[in-house]
Amino acid sequence: MARHETRAERATAWAFEALQPLHQAQAGGPAVPRRLLQRRQSLAWLAGCALSLPATAGAAGGACVATPPEMAGPFPGDGTNRWLTGRHNALALAGIERPDIRTSLSGGRSTAQGAPLSLQLKLVSARDCAPLRGWAVYLWQCDAVGRYSMYDDALEREDHLRGVQRSNADGDLRFTTVFPGCYPGRMPHVHLHVYAPGALAAPRLTSQLAFEPEVCERVYRGNAYAGSREPFAGLSFARDRIFRDGVDRQMLRTAEVSGVLQSQLTIAVDVR
């Protein structure tokens, strides 16, 4: 039986007028009605993806509001905790700096199944919204059925859905992953550490990012997410131990472009 974690902006400027339904072929799921993207919406979104995320999310008076810190949770795989089978450290793996985190680097080299997701982040200084170049993000998440590699009984030798990317001159970075599943007690989310340039030592920010409920509901129609429907049906941000104190600055903005989900958010880091 899988071991589960027990603890626990929405976009306005960039959001679509209405979220586009998911591609019918996603994760082998049933057919879902799909509206065509309006030309202006599609071009605006694609332009944002091709250029960079805005550095003004949460900005006020020339400063960006810092992304709230959160606990790492029990499955970080960063060498800081010991599990039943030892101390796990994905950061020590050769090749951990990679854009596509769906396949394990070791073990059975398994590939996580689920709806493809392009997760795009922009790192900025909370002091003045300036982009942070060369900073690193370590991202980890559960799979479509709520399991974390390196910790779940069936995945102890696997390390998929864990990876590191460094920001470019504009502060931008991107991961290719799958949409996370849902397990009891927690709204769907991903975890991250943000590191200053150089070695992956002490993170300058540890946080968690959430997904819009309507997006989750549509994703979970796919066959790969059958096990996520029941736990998700009884959840809300108000009942989530991590997000119940507010989630606006941690809400990923998600839409579908050419059949692929794309989630975006600006992360403001206190660099003092």
Q: Which of 246, 243, 235, 245 is nearest to 7 (CA)?
A: 243
Q: List CB contacts of 137: < 8 A, sequence separation 6 or more.
A: 121, 123, 164, 165, 166, 167, 173, 192, 193, 194, 195, 267
- At residue 147, the pLDDT reads 96
Strand partners, 138: 164, 193
- At residue 225, the pLDDT reads 98
Query: What values do phi and psi take at 178, rounded to 5?
Result: -120, 155
Report the C-alpha gap between 264 and 57 in whole angstroms. 11
Strand, helix or coil at 40? helix
- At residue 180, the pLDDT reads 98
- At residue 82, the pLDDT reads 79
The model carries a pTM of 0.80
- At residue 84, the pLDDT reads 73
Which string of DSSP letters, residue by residue, matches 126-168? TTT--B--S-EEEEE---TTS--TTTSGGGTT---SEEEEE--
- At residue 81, the pLDDT reads 87
**pLDDT tens across 131-189, in order?**
999 999 999 999 999 999 999 999 999 999 999 999 999 999 999 999 999 999 999 99
How many alpha carbons fall within 13 Å on the CB side of residue 170?
Answer: 15
- At residue 83, the pLDDT reads 78
Question: Which residues in the chain come in under a pLDDT of 50?
Answer: 1-52, 56, 58-61
Strand partners, 241: none
- At residue 54, the pLDDT reads 55
Report the C-alpha gap between 105 and 267 in whole angstroms. 27
Q: Are 111 and 103 in contact (CB under 8 A)?
A: yes
Region of residue 246 (phi > 0: left; psi between -120 and 50: alpha; otherwise: beta): left
Q: Are 166 and 134 in contact (CB under 8 A)?
A: yes
